[in-house]
Structure 1
């Protein structure tokens, strides 16, 4: 999967842009889906912890 051109993403929300970048990074580095999901779960938990601390 190739990243979308800047033109195709220029008006997209930031979360969509980030998702496209992450998908490209994972696929271009041939990261196994199970490995990626485990890593993303760790990232999610870390970000949720940070959000909770901000409250």
Structure 2
């Protein structure tokens, strides 16, 4: 018997779960796609800088 409260996302990798959460957050707040993409680029640059700094230690 299958648990009716389970979701295909329950076994998904963490990055997929996070992506789904972010998409939901953007859509539920009716964020303009161009604004969202611009913000994502800023976040990407910030995270890449943090990774680069971490690797340099």
Q: Classify the TM-score, shorter chain.
A: 0.7 to 0.9
Bigger Rg, which one: 2
In the comparison of the two structures, how many residue pairs are matched?
A: 51
CA RMSD, Structure 1 to Structure 2 (Å): 1.3
Distance 1:23 1:46 in 2: 19
Q: Deviation digits for residues 1-55 of structure 1, max 9, x if unmatched?
A: xxxx752211000000000000000000000000000000000000000000011
Using the size of structure 1 for normalisation, the TM-score is 0.87
Distance 1:30 1:41 in 2: 18
Using the size of structure 2 for normalisation, the TM-score is 0.84
